[in-house]
Copies of this chain bind each other. A is one copy, B any other.
Amino acid sequence: MSNFDTLIQDLVIANRILAREEVVDAYGHISTRHPDDPNRFLIARSLAPELVGREDIVELDLDGQPVRDEHRSLYLERFIHAAIFAARPDVTAVVHAHAEDTLPFGIADGTKLRPVIHSGSFIGTEVPVWDIADNFGDTNLLVTNMAQATDLARCLGGNSVALMRGHGFAAAARSLIEVVRLSVYLPRNARALSRARQLGGEIKYLSEGEIEARNRGYSPYSVETWRTWEYWANRAGCGHLLTQPNDSHSRPAKG
């Protein structure tokens, strides 16, 4: 299977994982930059991630417009992906989701969302909160054009996650596996922080050094990262779609 086909297959798996892990439901989406053209990206057409298959993947440009004729509906908020890919040459994959546990941190300003558990380190040191009202006044809160999306990307800056007030979050990473990992652990970290606050006392956040130590090196296929991807793919019923990394001793994917 070609590199491109593998990527499409991984994008399908990623959609299913995000749905199974309840990061997304009917809404929310994930994209990956085109491996051969940095000015294009791949994303599903307007469909619940749970239902996405190979044939649902479309190719868009960095204005969020389809590259080929496309009569099927597209995600209203695809501009989020376009703007982040445009602003961030280092980013290869983007997620937009409404995961419930992240919402409170974009609504109340009393507690900043920061990593408190080791798997939350991928969030990064800072999680800015973007409020569409700041520059666009009263809207329906959806990011439905490049002006809004570019404003969001500006707020995200060089970070991995930006919360979108009253809406959800946008996450950006160097690979599909990493943006999925980040998106799954973000709500988990949010819950841990929320509950820790209720216990009173001082909270021990991950230090900058710890965050860096955990993020050092680009290794989406390290044994530990692969194990989680394999585990989540199996839980999502996509074990059979996994492309094995070159490790003849790894366990055959169980469906």
Tell me the A residues contacting B by CB distance below 8 Å.
Answer: 25-27, 46-48, 50-51, 71-73, 76, 98, 100-101, 103-105, 107-111, 115-119, 121, 131, 133, 137-142, 165-167, 188, 191-204, 206-210, 212-214, 216, 223-224, 227-228, 230-232, 234, 247, 249-251, 254
Contacts A104-B198, A166-B116, A199-B105; A26 near B231 (Cβ below 8 A): yes
Contacts A118-B140, A213-B139; A100 near B192 (Cβ below 8 A): yes
Within the oligomer, what is the number of copies of this chain?
4
Out of B121, B167, B214, which one reaches A117, CB within 8 Å? Answer: B167
Contacts of A27 in B (CB 8 A): 227-228
A215 nearest CB neighbor, chain B only: B140
Contacts of A48 in B (CB 8 A): 227, 230-231
Contacts of A207 in B (CB 8 A): 133, 138
Contacts of A98 in B (CB 8 A): 117, 119
CA separation between A26 and B117, bound complex, in Å?
A: 16
Between A and B, 29 residue pairs with Cβ closer than 8 Å are A27-B227, A27-B228, A47-B251, A50-B231, A51-B254, A72-B249, A73-B223, A73-B247, A103-B116, A103-B117, A104-B195, A105-B199, A107-B192, A108-B200, A108-B203, A109-B202, A110-B200, A110-B202, A118-B142, A121-B141, A133-B207, A133-B210, A139-B210, A139-B213, A141-B214, A194-B195, A194-B198, A197-B198, A198-B198
A98 to chain B, nearest CB (A): 7
Contacts of A72 in B (CB 8 A): 249
From A76, A142, A198, A234, residue with most partner B Cβ within 10 Å? A198
A106 to chain B, nearest CB (A): 8
CA separation between A162 and B233, bound complex, in Å?
A: 32
CA separation between A204 and B72, bound complex, in Å?
A: 36
Contacts A47-B251, A138-B207, A139-B213; A166 near B108 (Cβ below 8 A): no
Contacts A76-B224, A207-B138, A249-B73; A193 near B107 (Cβ below 8 A): yes
Contacts of A167 in B (CB 8 A): 117-118
